């Protein structure tokens, strides 16, 4: 018996353009048109966001402040103001809800919208996306880009095509040719390491990927193999979930100087656990799995985890587990970053399923 075809949806992925940096340039006209990085400019600082002027010099988010300054000597660093970013993000989300309640935020600056059925009664997702981007500009003074297609995966990929301040629609008949022509590095979920592995296997485009069997891809990429097999065929049935569940809560710190002693690390971990406890209490959640993240001076990352039989949120319990994890094995190198996260949370009962049920329309 053949499986019934899934209803065709209209999904928009809205992504703000260089959001943190753009907010800083909006609030400080003197910074407009200049290469700007939000984050630490000191030796151990990290770039949280870069303006488009800075990106021309190769400055990117998650890059060290030292390297960013080396690439762009006249780069201006400003400290992040997350309260301000959240304030503007709330205004943007309010605009989304003028069109649909099926809004799934991914972060402060991007979200999926299911507009298959929408509050404006507009059959064109393309026109809705353009209208939303114009409303964001009018309300906040900031620009946004958008991708429009039949599922979240393609919409996400498409939103990056005409950045900044643009949009791209991939209509239903265009989906398969679009995916076949797509460079493998542009596939959402395919990172740098996987891209290199695919190159070694002769996979450079979606067309190359489509020629591989699901067995072949599973053999080389594990569980992700089936995902790659389906998305290149336009199959991605994940729904837009307005009540997206928090999977983990974590805090991490990068240090001005590398740490070589567990004693000094425990002192820092106490402070990190304090911050984590505050966040957990604010969200009124607890978890069972405690993870210690260690980034070494050579930038390799190691995680060590322990799952408890009961939910915890108190710092005293978290730090006891962290001590155990820290001394679990010897450190490889000096340490530049430590982090603690809590997963396997007790908020899963709050998950709500949202089902979109509309058939085919013109885009």
Q: Rounded to whole angstroms, what are the CA distances from 238 to 104, 151, 177? A: 11, 8, 21
Structural domain spans, the chain: 11-17+83-170, 20-81, 174-231, 248-346
Buried b (16+ CB within 10 A) or exposed e, 221-257: beeebebbbebbebebeebbbbeeeeeebebeeebee
Write down the pLDDT at residue 175.
94
Write down the pLDDT at residue 258.
87
Residues whose CB is less than 8 angstroms from the CB of residue 51 and which lie 6 or more positions away in sequence, other chains included: 18, 21, 22, 25, 34, 35, 36, 37
Write down the pLDDT at residue 4.
44
Residue 320 falls in the annotated catalytic set: no
Say which residue the tokens 């791209």 belong to: 168
Write down the pLDDT at residue 62.
79
| 248-346 CATH choice from 1.10.3210.10, 3.40.50.2000, 3.30.1490.100, 3.40.50.300 | 3.30.1490.100
Hey, what are 69's tokens?
């300054």
Q: Counting runs of H as helices and runs of E as strands, what totals does the chain give?
A: 13, 12
20-81 architecture in CATH? 3-Layer(aba) Sandwich (3.40)
pLDDT digits (tens, 9 = 90+) for 280-296: 988 888 999 999 999 98
Burial class (CB in 10 A: 0-12, 13-18, 19+), 22: buried
Task: Taking each helix axis as running N to C, give the angle between helix 192-200 and helix 214-221, from 0 to 180 degrees, rounded to the nearest 10.
Answer: 120
Write down the pLDDT at residue 6.
55
Q: DSSP state, 127?
A: H
The radius of gyration of the chain from alpha carbons, rounded to an integer in Å, stands at 22
Q: Does this chain's domain 11-17+83-170 share its CATH topology with 248-346?
A: no
Extract the residue ranges of the chain whose pLDDT is less than 70.
1-7, 42-44, 243-245, 348-363
pLDDT digits (tens, 9 = 90+) for 108-144: 899 999 999 999 999 999 999 999 999 999 999 999 9
| 11-17+83-170 CATH choice from 3.40.50.2300, 3.40.80.10, 3.90.1150.110, 3.30.70.270 | 3.30.70.270
The answer to whether 241 and 101 are in contact (CB under 8 A) is no
Write down the pLDDT at residue 1.
38
Of 144, 180, 135, which is closest to residue 162 (Cα–Cα)?
144
Q: Given the residues 53, 110, 174, 324, select the one marked as catalytic.
A: 110
Q: Which residues pair with 290 in a beta bridge?
A: 306, 342
Instruction: Tell me how far apart the alpha carbons of residues 176 and 174 are, in angstroms, rounded to a whole number.
Output: 6
3 state DSSP class of 76: strand
Q: Rounded to whole angstroms, what are the CA distances from 188 to 118, 133, 203, 242, 347? A: 26, 22, 15, 21, 27
User: 206-210: which pairs have CB atoms within 8 A and are 24 or more residues apart?
Assistant: 206/179, 206/180, 206/181, 206/182, 206/232, 207/180, 207/181, 208/184, 209/184, 210/179, 210/180
pTM (predicted TM-score): 0.72
174-231 architecture in CATH? Orthogonal Bundle (1.10)
Residues in the chain: 363
Pairing of strands 47-50, 36-39: antiparallel
């Amino acid at each position: 018996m053949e499986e019934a075809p899934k209803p065709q949806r209209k999904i928009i992925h809205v992504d703000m353009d260089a959001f943190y940096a753009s907010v800083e340039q909006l609030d400080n006209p003197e910074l407009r048109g200049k290469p700007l990085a939000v984050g630490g400019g000191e030796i151990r600082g990290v770039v949280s966001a870069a303006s488009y002027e800075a990106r021309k010099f190769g400055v990117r988010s998650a890059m060290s402040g030292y390297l960013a300054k080396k690439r762009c000597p006249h780069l201006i660093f400003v400290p992040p103001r997350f309260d301000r970013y959240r304030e503007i993000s709330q205004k943007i989300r309010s605009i989304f809800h003028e069109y649909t309640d099926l809004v799934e935020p991914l972060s402060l600056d991007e979200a999926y919208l299911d507009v298959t059925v929408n509050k404006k009664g507009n059959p064109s997702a393309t026109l809705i996306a353009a209208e939303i981007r114009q409303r964001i500009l009018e309300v906040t003074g900031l620009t946004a880009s958008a991708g429009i297609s039949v599922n979240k995966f393609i919409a996400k990929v498409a939103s990056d095509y005409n950045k900044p301040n643009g949009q791209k629609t991939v209509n239903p008949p265009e989906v398969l040719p679009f995916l076949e022509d797509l460079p493998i590095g542009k596939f959402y979920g395919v990172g740098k390491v996987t891209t290199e592995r695919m190159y070694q296997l002769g996979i450079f485009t979606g067309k190359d990927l489509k020629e591989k069997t699901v067995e072949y891809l599973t053999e080389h990429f594990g569980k992700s193999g089936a995902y790659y097999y389906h998305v290149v065929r336009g199959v991605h049935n994940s729904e837009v979930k307005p009540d997206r569940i928090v999977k983990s809560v974590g805090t991490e710190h990068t240090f001005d100087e590398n740490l070589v002693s567990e004693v000094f690390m425990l002192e820092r971990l106490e402070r990190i656990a304090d911050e984590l406890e505050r966040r957990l209490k604010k969200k009124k959640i607890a978890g069972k799995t405690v993870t210690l993240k260690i980034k070494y001076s050579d930038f390799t990352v190691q995680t060590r985890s322990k799952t408890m039989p009961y939910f915890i949120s108190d710092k005293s319990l978290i730090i006891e587990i962290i001590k155990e994890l820290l001394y679990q094995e010897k450190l490889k190198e000096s340490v530049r970053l430590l982090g603690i996260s809590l997963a396997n949370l007790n908020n899963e009962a709050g998950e709500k399923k949202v089902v979109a049920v509309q058939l085919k329309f013109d885009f």
